[in-house]
Amino acid sequence: MKRSLFLLLVAVCLFTGSKNVVMAQLIETPAPPRLAGQTDVLGLTCKPIPTVRVAFIGLGMRGPGAVDRMTHIEGVEIVALCDMLKENVEKVNRKLVGKGLPKALEFYGDEEVWRKVTALPDVDLVYIATDWKNHAKMGVQAMKDGKHVAIEVPAAMSMDEIWDLINTSEQTRKHCMQLENCVYDFFELTTLNMVQQGLLGEVIHGEGAYIHGLQPYWDEYWNNWRMDFNETHRGDVYPTHGLGPVCQAMNIHRGDKLNYLVSMDTKPIGNPAYIKEKTGRDATGFRNGDHTCTLIYTEKGKSILIEHNVTSPRPYNRMYQLTGTKGFANKYPVSGYALDKGDIDPAIAANHENLSAHAFVPDDVKKALMEKYRHPIVVDIEEKAKTVGGHGGMDFVMDYRLIHCLQNGLPLDMDVYDLAEWCCLIPLTEISLDHYSAPVQIPDFTRGAWNRSDKLTFAK
Ligand SMILES: NC(=O)c1ccc[n+]([C@@H]2O[C@H](COP(=O)([O-])OP(=O)(O)OC[C@H]3O[C@@H](n4cnc5c(N)ncnc54)[C@H](O)[C@@H]3O)[C@@H](O)[C@H]2O)c1
């Protein structure tokens, strides 16, 4: 009798256990097959464009700064400006004229006017800084109309949009770059150079985040697009600033690939409270939690933690942390490096007998390391970038590199697969969260070519 009770219990446990295993099964998101004749755009090069003619769509808070930065780059012509709102277009055009530059063509007035811009004959690059829901469709149309395209973050919000951008870039052979500026911040670039030169050993874990209370901005977004998206979507809706620099340090789709993610969030409190306070409305059913954590596992056995929080009272934080087998780098809230003395250039470590990776290196060692490992792509332009500005200069470095590569017919620093990998957290974290944090597959957006090169390179 006792024995049969025991067997029954074992059977129940096994049954319950197997049910739990079913709950944790990977949710698959397979890559759609390529059309016959379509090939990847890894390392895509196009005919050099000595003078790059740029058209801008979206001139709200972000767009005008991009127009201004472009006026500081030689060999750029700003030929068209477009926004829903007439006053936004005219204001930016007045600035161009005030700088002694030719007046750009103006497009404004309705939600479809941008189609005239992508169709313009004498444009090489369409630069998009509208709200999120317009990014991908504008980018796809611009490529179909024969233009290269640069799209603000996040460039795509759903898997369909991501695959549309990839397929269109592969079919039209046009560049499609996401304007992810944080990979060009000076600490990140320097650290990337350290990683590529082996100073941190093998990077096995990375962290990144977008933690930024947006209360001062919520009312400024055109038509409330940003709060609306958070109200109707759950998950990490702004992952690219955190994920981009970590993926670069891990050579994602250049020898490693993102395999799957799991995500967990808190309940929503801050944003519904903000809505109630501002409008009196009860935002019951508000989808996005205050804080979202996502863990990603890579093919080569590495992990990445990405966080999102745009409502809690916290200092701005993109985390940016790399754990390597020989060293450690961290940017927020305190930036520093931890390395064993033996791993540091003896000339730099000379006066520091007790250096160990148990603490950050002293400030003078950090300064000397950052000088030694300054990234080659900023050596010539760092001073100018800091003068022109845009988040301390990183925005200028991004625009400068984009134009430099187009002018010289070089592959861009970031390709459409980077865009896909960094944006896919938006739809895939939502799937995980809606399934009790189940693991969700991250497809190989290169469809088989993730291992073709073994390292991220910046073309010269
Ligand atoms: N990389 C960064 O550091 C950074 C910083 C801020 C914003 N951004 C991104 O920049 C983009 C714009 O953000 P923002 O803060 O300027 O928002 P915003 O609301 O101030 O500006 C969006 C603009 O797009 C225009 N627009 C909307 N639909 C349009 C259409 N159909 N045709 C033409 N114009 C249209 C609006 O009139 C508005 O002027 C977003 O994707 C945001 O995530 C990136």
In this predicted structure, the answer to whether residue 6 has a pLDDT above a threshold of 90 is no
Mean pLDDT to the nearest integer, 303-322: 98
Omega within 30 of 0 (cis) for the link into 121 = no
In this predicted structure, the answer to whether residue 132 has a pLDDT above a threshold of 70 is yes
Centre of ligand 1 from the C-alpha of residue 345, in Å: 45
* Domains in the chain: boundaries: 52-179, 183-376+415-441
In this predicted structure, the answer to whether residue 2 has a pLDDT above a threshold of 50 is no
List, in sequence order, every residue forming a beta bridge with 107; answer none if it has no partner. 82
Give residue 347's pLDDT.
93
d(CA 56, CA 89): 10
pTM of the model: 0.95
* 236 Cβ below 6 A of ligand 1: no
Q: Whose CA is nearest to atom 39 of ligand 1?
A: 60
Out of 3.10.129.10, 3.40.640.10, 3.40.50.720, 1.10.240.10, select the CATH number for domain 52-179. Answer: 3.40.50.720
Check if the beta carbon of residue 345 is closer than 8 Å to that of residue 372. yes
Nearest partner of 432 among 283, 239, 270, judged by Cα: 239
- Nearest ligand 1 atom, CA 223: 19
Render the burial of 344-362: b for 16+ CB within 10 Å, e for the rest.
beeebbeeeeebebeebbe
Residue of 222, 223, 226 with the most ligand 1 atoms within 8 Å of its CB, for mutation: 222
Check if the beta carbon of residue 394 is closer than 8 Å to that of residue 185. yes
d(CA 237, CA 309): 10
* Per-residue pLDDT reduced to its tens digit, 363-417: 999 999 999 999 999 999 999 999 998 999 999 999 999 999 999 999 999 999 9
- Nearest ligand 1 atom, CA 111: 31
* Per-residue pLDDT reduced to its tens digit, 255-305: 999 999 999 999 999 999 999 999 999 999 999 999 999 999 999 999 999
Check if the beta carbon of residue 334 is closer than 8 Å to that of residue 360. yes
Give residue 16's pLDDT.
52
* Per-residue pLDDT reduced to its tens digit, 425-438: 999 999 999 999 99
* 221 Cβ below 6 A of ligand 1: yes
Centre of ligand 1 from the C-alpha of residue 402, in Å: 20
* Per-residue DSSP letter, 104: P
What tokens appear for 417 in the block?
């697969």
Give residue 9's pLDDT.
44
* Per-residue pLDDT reduced to its tens digit, 75-111: 999 999 999 999 999 999 999 999 999 999 999 999 9
Check if the beta carbon of residue 422 is closer than 8 Å to that of residue 243. yes
Check if the beta carbon of residue 403 is closer than 8 Å to that of residue 52. yes
Residue of 61, 134, 399 with the most ligand 1 atoms within 8 Å of its CB, for mutation: 61
Give residue 303's pLDDT.
99
* CATH class of domain segment(s) 183-376+415-441: alpha beta
Mean pLDDT to the nearest integer, 197-217: 98
Q: What is the mean pLDDT of the chain?
A: 95
**pLDDT-based confidence at residue 199 (cuts at 50, 70, 90):** very high
Q: How is the beta sheet containing 203-211 ordered, strand by strand? A: 336-339, 327-330, 321-324, 203-211, 303-309, 292-298, 258-265, 440-441
Centre of ligand 1 from the C-alpha of residue 321, in Å: 29
Query: What residues have CB less than 8 Å from 288, skipping those under 6 apart?
Result: 230, 231, 233, 234, 235, 237, 265, 268, 271
Give residue 4's pLDDT.
52
In this predicted structure, the answer to whether residue 20 has a pLDDT above a threshold of 60 is no
Give residue 7's pLDDT.
45
Nearest partner of 56 among 87, 89, 99, judged by Cα: 89
Query: What residues have CB less than 8 Å from 110, skipping those under 6 apart?
Result: 84
